């Protein structure tokens, strides 16, 4: 377990209660070990609070709003933060909020590949069942969740060999 600044504990708890829309969408796919490893949201690490942390994969995921790209001071802070986290042995992935909301499957595929590499491929091949034994719900746009084992990647309707009957 990585040490953290005690002053961040209560603030992290507050942040968990008011996730952004992009954070809520990503959390839907990360919670309950759906990618094969446990993720924590709004986790204090050292002097920072990271959006998502998977200790087993030594992975931190940050979802950034537009202020992270528009403000040079914020870019510098993010760079310093990433350097500190990397020095702790953590890999940092950054995604734009808009990217998470519009390209969910692509973001999940990147995360899944990093988790698989970080854990040496020790991810169980079958997806977990949702509570009650039902299949997990799909996204509002109809995109299915990423399945363990990489089966939830991209699909192209133009290569679909099904013919209508």
In a domain, 142, yes or no: no
Residue 155, CA distances (Å) to 79, 98, 110, 125, 147 in order: 34, 21, 15, 20, 13
In a domain, 20, yes or no: yes
Q: What is the pLDDT of residue 124?
A: 56
Cα atoms in the 13 Å half-sphere on the side-chain side of 6: 0
In a domain, 86, yes or no: yes
In a domain, 56, yes or no: yes
In the chain, the number of structural domains is 1
In a domain, 16, yes or no: yes
In a domain, 130, yes or no: no
Q: What is the pLDDT of residue 65?
A: 85
Q: What is the pLDDT of residue 74?
A: 86
Neighbouring C-beta atoms of residue 100, cutoff 10 Å: 22
Show Cβ contacts of residue 88 under 8 Å, excluding neighbours closer than 6 positions. 2, 45, 46
Any idea what the CATH number is for the domain that residue 24 is in? 3.40.960.10
Q: What is the pLDDT of residue 162?
A: 44
Among candidate residues 15, 78, 77, 99, the one with its CA nearest the CA of residue 52: 15
In a domain, 157, yes or no: no
* Run means of pLDDT, 10 residues per run, the chain, 165 residues: 73 82 96 94 94 96 79 89 96 95 96 93 55 45 45 42 44
- Strand 40-45 versus strand 91-96 pairing type: unpaired
Q: What is the pLDDT of residue 148?
A: 44
Domain that holds residue 13: 7-125
In a domain, 150, yes or no: no
């Amino acid at each position: 377990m990585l040490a953290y600044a005690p002053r961040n504990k209560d603030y992290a708890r507050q942040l968990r209660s008011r996730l952004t829309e992009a954070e809520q969408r990503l959390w839907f796919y990360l919670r309950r070990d759906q990618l094969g490893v446990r993720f924590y949201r709004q986790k204090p690490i050292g002097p920072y609070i990271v959006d998502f942390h998977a200790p087993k994969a030594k992975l931190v995921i940050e979802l950034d709003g537009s202020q992270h790209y528009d403000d040079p001071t914020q870019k510098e802070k993010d760079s310093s933060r990433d350097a500190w986290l990397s020095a702790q042995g953590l890999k940092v992935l950054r995604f734009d909020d808009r990217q998470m909301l519009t390209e969910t499957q692509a973001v999940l595929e990147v995360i899944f590949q990093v988790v698989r590499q970080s854990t040496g491929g020790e991810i169980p091949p079958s997806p977990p069942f949702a509570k009650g034994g039902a299949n997990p719900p799909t996204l509002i746009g109809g995109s299915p969740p990423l399945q363990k084992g990489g089966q939830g990647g991209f699909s192209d309707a133009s290569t679909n060999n099904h013919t209508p009957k």
